[in-house]
Amino acid sequence: MPIHSRLHLNHRSSIAPLRRVNGLRSGIVLLTSVFVLAVSAHGEVQRSDEKTAAIPMRDGVILRADILLPHKGGPFPVLVYRTPYGAKNALQEYTTFQHALERGYAVVVQDVRGRYASDGVFAPYQNEGRDGYDTIEWAAAQPWSNGKVGTFGLSYPGAVQWLAAVENPPHLTAMVPAMTFSSHRNFFYAGGTFDLSWIEWIWDNIAPDIRVKQNAPGPRTDDEASAAWAKSGLDMESVLPLSAMDALLGIAPYYYEWLSHSPDDPWWSWADLRGKYGRTHAAVLNLSGWYDDHYGPEGATTNFKGLVEARRDRPNGTSLLIGAWVHGVKSTGSPKAGDRSFPDAAKIDYDNTVLDWMDHYLRGIDNGVDRKPPVRYYVMGADAWRESQVWPPPSSLTRFYLRTAGPGKPGLLTDAQPPSGGSSSFVSDPSHPVTDKYAEDSGAHDYRYLTDRTDLLSFDTGPLSADTEVTGPVDSHIFLSCDCRDADVWVRLYDVAPDGAVWNEMSPGIDVQRASFREMAKGRQLLNPGQIYEIRVTGGVTSNVFKKGHRIRVQVSGAFFPYLSRNLQSGELETVSANAKKATIRIYHDRPHASYVVLPVVAQ
């Protein structure tokens, strides 16, 4: 089954990539036998006599951590950072630890269960709630701790914070979870489709260390894993059924466990934060980027709103910060996302952002973070930061209707009600799916090359008569029928410039819905061929000013490979079957079935 070529970058790692680290930053020195560091008032690193901390979990498993202490004073507030990517790698990669020491924090940098120096068996995310709780409470009880604990980190180190927080550790006082998720339904899956990037995440980030521990064959270093992925990664992702991909057998049994549980399975409850926000009292700063991996901006906004709702009768202590960034700490200090450039004002100082939050809530410093509006977001196109008391900010929810289009011939996108009658169709072929040639590079890119494809439909407004700001959730209502039992519906939002450039406004995966999971609470419901269904695509979110003379484009397709698994369209699941079929998908435009997209238009 031929698939268009791609090499998908690892975006799960908060240190992506961790491959070529040239030494220790900011004067931090780690010795193989001594891992507790002390920093003098002059910034000189001094060695203490303590060894690596062995932290017992409630089930007796020992997790190990490096402990960093200021040279003088104490007891100290404590910052806990938990990672599957190697505590020593984190200390090499990030300056946050050094800056935290300089501000008077003790720092605990821990390998999570089953990774690097820690004992136990690694099962991604599943043990992080209990282990995080136990680690936080251990840190609070140490003689060098004043009992106030904060957590920080991005991606997996962001997720572990939330999973621990909803266990309600009493001494967790503040946290800064960055670029992480809200629910398994938009993390392991997206809109009911399985996220294929987990294969590379395991192969590149997890498998090498596991092979070393097991003395198993295969790549054992980052460089070896990267070279092997470049050669065979596409083959791994192209295997159907997904469960037949055997490259991770014996290395990552949890991957095959995930495939055995559909997104509606209650088994996933451990990976769902929604409805649990009232369980934590910690002050939370949620951080993400408009071009973060698909789960990031949805996760940050959903988690923020959930906290606000849960804390109606208590001090808020929660904020939201979203910039024009891709996934990773480094991106927050860059004015570029993919091929789209922004002014330097789009950058932030990540370390200061994290530590200013901690200074107020852990050290009691009156630095004003609690007096700022709780929401701060970057508006692309306007190239300006905005603040708001609420998310989303006030807007006019405007329907833009999809009018008749043909393959390679954009139809109209208009706020006018459609006339009676009308539909558009395209043929979706799982063996030759719509693919993203920019899959190697996160961020914004020029997608004009897709316009002429015959297996998707595009809908454009006319040239805009004035600047038009869209800030908030994007909600699509697509009425369709299909000569198949199932289909995926991708609804992508673009900014079409006068020179013909077509810029995406969010990362792929935030904008898809599997038809059979259109009502997730009711489980999987296959389509009746020829019957018309309303499919809602929710989760998309952005902030962009479409400039005067530009056009707004909505593009509908049945696939956008290689981000998520392909719908076989036969009614069989790709996890257990390879039986794929072509299908004609028809989009309706008549009054009873008027397909439309709701855009939150902000008054200028």
Distance, CA of 426 to CA of 373 (rounded, Å):
46
pTM higher than the cut 0.85: yes
* 126: exposed, middle or buried (Cβ count in 10 Å: 0-12, 13-18, 19+): middle
pLDDT in tens, 122-150: 999 999 999 999 999 999 999 999 999 99
Q: For the chain, which ranges sit under pLDDT 50?
A: 1-36, 39-50
- Does a structural domain hold residue 209? yes
Structure tokens at 185: 């339904």
- Does a structural domain hold residue 30? no
Query: Cα angle at 122 between 117 and 123, to 5 degrees?
Result: 155
Residues present in the chain in total = 604
Dihedral sign from CA coordinates of 238, 239, 242, 246: negative
- Does a structural domain hold residue 304? yes
Tell me what pLDDT residue 563 has: 86
Tell me what pLDDT residue 376 has: 98
Name the domain boundary from 235, 261, 287.
261
Amino acid at 68: L
Measured distance between the N- and C-terminal CA atoms of the chain, rounded to whole angstroms: 50
Distance, CA of 383 to CA of 375 (rounded, Å):
17
User: What is the domain extent for residue 136?
Assistant: 37-186+268-388
Helix axes 207-214, 222-238, angle to 10 degrees: 110
Quick one: 364 and 401 in the same domain? no
Quick one: 237 and 278 in the same domain? no
Name the domain boundary from 337, 358, 388.
388
Quick one: 525 and 482 in the same domain? yes
- Does a structural domain hold residue 376? yes
Tell me what pLDDT residue 604 has: 83
Number of CB atoms found within 10 A of residue 521's CB: 6
Quick one: 299 and 215 in the same domain? no
How many folded domains does the chain comprise? 3
* 338: exposed, middle or buried (Cβ count in 10 Å: 0-12, 13-18, 19+): middle
Quick one: 303 and 211 in the same domain? no
- Does a structural domain hold residue 32? no
- Does a structural domain hold residue 4? no
Quick one: 255 and 278 in the same domain? no
What are the phi and psi torsion angles at 524 (to 5°)?
A: -80, 125
CATH code for the domain in which residue 60 is found: 3.40.50.1820
Quick one: 253 and 282 in the same domain? no
Of 248, 197, 203, 234, residue with least CA distance to 221:
203
Report the run of H or E that residue 400 belongs to, with start and end: strand 396-402
Quick one: 111 and 167 in the same domain? yes
Of 209, 207, 213, 212, residue with least CA distance to 251:
207
Tell me what pLDDT residue 51 has: 58
Distance of CA 71 to the CA centre of its chain: 37
- Does a structural domain hold residue 310? yes
Number of CB atoms found within 10 A of residue 223's CB: 12
- Does a structural domain hold residue 116? yes
Beta-strand pair 456-460/423-428 = unpaired
Quick one: 147 and 128 in the same domain? yes
Name the domain boundary from 353, 371, 388.
388
Quick one: 438 and 570 in the same domain? yes
pLDDT in tens, 300-320: 999 999 999 999 866 679 999
